[in-house]
Amino acid sequence: MEKILYKKTQPQKPSYCSYVETLPKDNIHRAYHDTSYGFPINNDNELFERLVLEINQAGLSWDTILRKQRNFRKAFNKFNIKKVASYDDKEQKRLLSDIGIIRNRLKIEAVIYNANAIQKLQREHGSFKMWLDLHYSKTKEEWIKIFKETFKFTGGEIVNEFLQSTGYLLNPHDTRCPIYKKVIKSKPAWYTYSMKIIKPKRNVKALVPMQVKGDKKREFAVKHHPDLKPKNKRAK
């Protein structure tokens, strides 16, 4: 899933990485792409923030959300899970009147509900992150199912973006993107925890995530490990 940058009717949209390459270094997309997108997050409040932002993007552009990110932090007490979970009707009315955020009642109610759901996960598993780590090997479809059972306003696209952006689903960066290697070095869950060692032809060891099934293992290995790519034959 690529970030929605402009109207969906535009044909052949470039990848997020390609789009960002055309932007100035001080652009908000550039900062997000280069320092946050795909990198693991260890703090529960920051994970909650990312989930809230992805929920609020539904039906809107990511550009809109990034431009309002500071407003969201202020409105939601810096995404302090405990504080947001305690929001009452008065707090909801305050949020609905805040022009700096997305004033959507269903989204606001989902944020408060999800804060309470995360508190429950923290009590049962130690932290939101530990709960996510527990399910690291799930496929995207399995992740979507468990998120729908646990949270509100978490459809397939929202779950996919949240998990890709936090390192639980395969790297969202193009392999040629200069940030790709930086993400790998940060050891996201999909790369660190869910690895299997396989030995394709030429006895070259390749690490392939458990999320990659069946015939796609070989395709993934060749794509991500240069030593496995077919060598050009010498011209006779």
CA 166 vs CA 206, 209, 214: distances in Å: 23, 16, 25
Which range has the worst mean pLDDT, 63-67, 118-122, 152-156, 213-217? 213-217
Instruction: Identify the residue with better confidence: 11 or 133.
Output: 133
* pLDDT, averaged across the chain: 85
pLDDT in tens, 80-98: 999 999 999 999 999 999 9
Residue 28 predicted with pLDDT over 80: yes
Question: Residue 7 has what pLDDT?
Answer: 32
Which residue in 23, 22, 36, 57 sits closest to 179, CA to CA?
A: 36
Residue 4 predicted with pLDDT over 60: no
Question: Residue 108 has what pLDDT?
Answer: 98
Question: Residue 228 has what pLDDT?
Answer: 52
Residue 26 predicted with pLDDT over 60: yes
Q: Domain residue spans in the chain?
A: 16-165, 194-236
Instruction: Identify the residue with better confidence: 61 or 227.
Output: 61
Question: Residue 8 has what pLDDT?
Answer: 30
Q: What would the DSSP string read from start to end of the chain? A: -----S-TTSSSPPPHHHHHHTS-TTSHHHHHHHHTTT-----HHHHHHHHHHHHHHTTS-HHHHHHTHHHHHHHTGGG-HHHHHT--HHHHHHHHT-TTS---HHHHHHHHHHHHHHHHHHHHHSSHHHHHHHTTT--HHHHHHHHHHH-SS--HHHHHHHHHHTTSSS--S-TTSHHHHHHHHT--HHHHTSEEEE--GGG--EEEETTS-TTHHHHHHHHH-GGGSPPPPPP-
Residue 234 predicted with pLDDT over 60: no
Instruction: Identify the residue with better confidence: 191 or 126.
Output: 126
Q: Give the separation between CA 201 and CA 219, rounded to whole angstroms.
A: 13
Say if residues 59 and 1 touch (Cβ distance below 8 Å): no
Q: Which CATH class is domain 16-165?
A: mainly alpha
